Amino acid sequence: MDFQARRERLRKGLKKAGVDALLVTDFTNVTYLTGFTGDDSYLLVRRDGETILSDPRYTTQLEEECPSVDLNIRPPGVAMLQAVAKVVHSAKVKRLGVEADSITVGLRDQIAEKLPKAELVPTSGLVEQLRIVKDKDEVERLRRAVWQAEKAFAVLRSTIRPEKTEKEVADELEYQFRLFGAKDASFPSIVAVGPRAALPHATPGRDRIGDDDFVLVDWGANDGLYCSDLTRMVVTGKISPKFERIYNTVLEAQQLAIKAVRPGVTGHDVDNVARSYIAKAGFGNRFRHGLGHGLGLLVHEAPRLAVKSDTVLQPGMVVTVEPGIYLPGWGGVRIEDDVLVTRSGHEVLTSVSKRLEDAVIG
């Protein structure tokens, strides 16, 4: 990945923000700008260079993962704030940008105390706005994360049994991620049987798969950097007329919304397509979350597909499209895919079948 190009784009943002340098304290942003996958490290990006501030635990890792970036390894007994003050002072930074969305008020005050001659300028979204549009390397990492998730789900479908609990199924799914090369799950997997599927973020528990006729599975793989996110319904019993109606409503709403994904439309526009369809079907007050969110180094990041999202979609953005209908006491249905915005429209990165008949397992 071309981390140098990312830092150069950030430097243009520094000029617009009117700062001499940016102290990057969000560890995910540090990873995006350097490739370093550890934590407890800051990055000072100046208009003429950059320096990672870290400690001896990460010396070798830093040298391997980001050899082109200057290192400032503080010795034992030297606090991070002391290292920050020294590097900023040496660089003669007069206006220091800080990440207002990452830094605490207390840390901001401590830095100001250590740097009385520098003006601290709060900034927001300088790095996140770069992350919102993925480059080719990032898209390939996302494809791999999708592949890992889909392979794991295929194994799960072939091994799922009525006597297994939600938690046992979730644990098995996450084990399979790793067998296919993933570092971890993108988030704690959701496996929700019957009525518990009415909880959009249900925590897998002791309910058994065979306790009801359907199961909601929401899962994603982290390939080591990038995250995927999918949701499918698994039918373990009979398809009732009510389930069929709700499933088909959610599926049609999702397919219409995916068709609406293209450059130039807003997150609100796409959300409204699905939300309007579900409302016309009589379930408007049962779709209680945004339609989707961005994917990348984090499983939830910009842009959002939601009622109040005015973000204009651009080629390179990757979003989830995940409408749902939730009926307390009965259950819920959600279907989710990962979608890349292309120059001519969109590409669905996920390929697990959504046909109702394919959701049924023996």
Distances, alpha carbon 91 to alpha carbons 50, 88, 119, 136, 339, in Å = 10, 5, 14, 34, 43
Residues 70 and 218 reside in one and the same domain: no
The whole-model pTM stands at 0.94
Distances, alpha carbon 243 to alpha carbons 59, 177, 248, in Å = 56, 29, 8
**Where is the domain boundary, 82, 109, 131?**
131
Nearest to 128 by CA among 30, 231, 229, 269: 30
Give the count of beta carbons closer than 10 Å to the beta carbon of residue 174.
17
Would you state the pLDDT for residue 126? 97
Cross-sheet strand order for the sheet of 346-348: 301-305, 292-294, 318-321, 337-341, 346-348
Would you state the pLDDT for residue 1? 79
Residues 123 and 142 reside in one and the same domain: no
Would you state the pLDDT for residue 362? 72
What SS3 state is found at 346? Answer: strand
Instruction: Walk along the chain (362 residues) in steps of 10 and give the mean pLDDT of each run.
Output: 94 94 97 96 96 96 95 93 94 96 93 94 96 97 98 95 97 97 97 98 96 97 97 96 98 98 98 98 96 98 97 98 98 98 98 96 82
Residues 108 and 231 reside in one and the same domain: no
Which amino acid is located at 269 in the chain?
D
Residues 92 and 212 reside in one and the same domain: no
Structural domain boundaries, residue 106:
3-131
The tokens for 255 are 């397919």
The CATH number for 82's domain is: 3.40.350.10
The tokens for 210 are 């065979």
Residues 261 and 233 reside in one and the same domain: yes
Task: Round to whole Å and give the CA distance between 103 and 302.
Answer: 19
